[in-house]
Amino acid sequence: MKWLLLLSLLALSECIVHKVPLVKKKSLRKNLIEKGLLKDYLKTHTLNRASKYFPKDVFASGSTESLENYLDTEYFGTISIGTPAQDFTVIFDTGSSNLWVPSTYCSSAACSVHNQFNPDDSSTFEATSETISITYGTGSMTGILGYDTVNVGGIEDTNQIFGLSESEPGSFLYYAPLDGILDIDDESGSVVMFGGIDSSYYTGSLNWVPVSYEGYWQITVDSITMDGETIACADGCQAIVDTGTSLLAGPTSAISNIQSYIGASENSDGEMVVSCSYMYSLPNIVFTINGVQYPVPASAYILEEDGACMSGFEGMDLDTSTGELWILGDVFIRQYFTVFDRANNQLGFAAVA
């Protein structure tokens, strides 16, 4: 199955389009299944994953931020740091705001199986005395901050601050098929673009949606319906458009109802499984945003891997100062060319070509 994730990031001063190919690698889910660790991971993850989305916690300290990447369908691109360049595979995450990579200062097992930045090999590296601590739902990283030249898709920043990990405890980062995280607040076919929009990737017109809360890429959703019936978000709700979350997440009570609608049930590994035949018979689930309908077909919200099918929805209770939050992750974003326009504080959506 070929997934297509398309997003574009705009900056006021940049008018040239720079493209970074994205690659889907062997998933964290598959790694955990092979090691017999999936059920324990899901159990712990369910208890802790919501911490990423609490703005008060995020902004309480300039050196601490909660992050999360969940199970399947992670998309990665390659960036380089230093002179000469050292390459790293990273997630482009619109749901968080720090760039970090493993470093040679790190002795954790997770660092030993990933690329490590060596500051001694870079003539442009500048050290600082500042530290960084990032907490995950099932792990964490700590390290120091430094400055160096970072190249992303042909865009070069000669004085970019980033984190060099000194510790990455736990199994999450060990089994995750990524080196680090680039935060932007086995199959190819995806792209992230910086500084412009390539209309060949979408059909029709871009529909613009204002950011409703300046903490994440947060917007207002009018309703969520199936077959014309409202199944969630009856009075409107808030949602974060997050490339660092794989699934469609929402309040557990609403998601529980949706799981029932699509015939999902929990298996022995703690996953919500669905009959693969439902992929061709279940109706669209429609997200109405700023008056425009965005249907998500069953072929998108039912995920197939190795002959098994799972629900693309997950329960996540996020009660913030703006109310309950939904997370529009990759299940939604794969269907729509998505523009993150920071200069005008808005997002744009259009059907992928």
Report residue 175 as tokens: 């089994």
3 state SS of 203 = coil
**How confident is the model at residue 140, as a pLDDT?**
73
**Residue linked to tokens 């009570």:** 253
Q: For residue 59, which phi and psi values (nearest 5 degrees)?
A: -90, 5
**Residue linked to tokens 């995450």:** 93
pLDDT higher than 90, residue 231: yes
DSSP run (H or E) holding 284 = none
Rg (CA), the chain: 20
Q: Are 71 and 27 in contact (CB under 8 A)?
A: yes
**How confident is the model at residue 61, as a pLDDT?**
35
Q: For 208-234, what is the mean pLDDT?
A: 93
**How confident is the model at residue 15, as a pLDDT?**
45
Domains in the chain, please, with CATH? Answer: 26-185 (2.40.70.10), 209-351 (2.40.70.10)
**How confident is the model at residue 245, as a pLDDT?**
79
Q: Are 328 and 239 in contact (CB under 8 A)?
A: yes
* Residues that are catalytic: 93, 242
* Cβ-Cβ contacts under 8 Å for 282 (sequence gap 6 or more): 262, 263, 298, 302
The half-sphere exposure of 349 on its side-chain side, counting CA atoms within 13 A, is: 20
Pairing outcome for strands 323-328 and 319-320: antiparallel
pLDDT in tens, 313-333: 999 887 667 678 899 988 999
**How confident is the model at residue 247, as a pLDDT?**
87
18 — pLDDT class (breaks 50, 70, 90): low
Task: Compute the residue count for the chain.
Answer: 353
Kindly report which listed range (2-11, 267-276, 300-309) carries the lowest average pLDDT score: 2-11
Report residue 163 as tokens: 């984190």
CA dihedral over 233, 238, 243, 245, signed as positive or negative: negative
Q: For 112-141, what is the mean pLDDT?
A: 85
Burial degree of 32 (CB within 10 A; 0-12, 13-18, 19+): buried
Report residue 297 as tokens: 């077909």
114 — pLDDT class (breaks 50, 70, 90): confident
Task: In whole angstroms, give the CA distance from residue 96 to residue 113.
Answer: 24
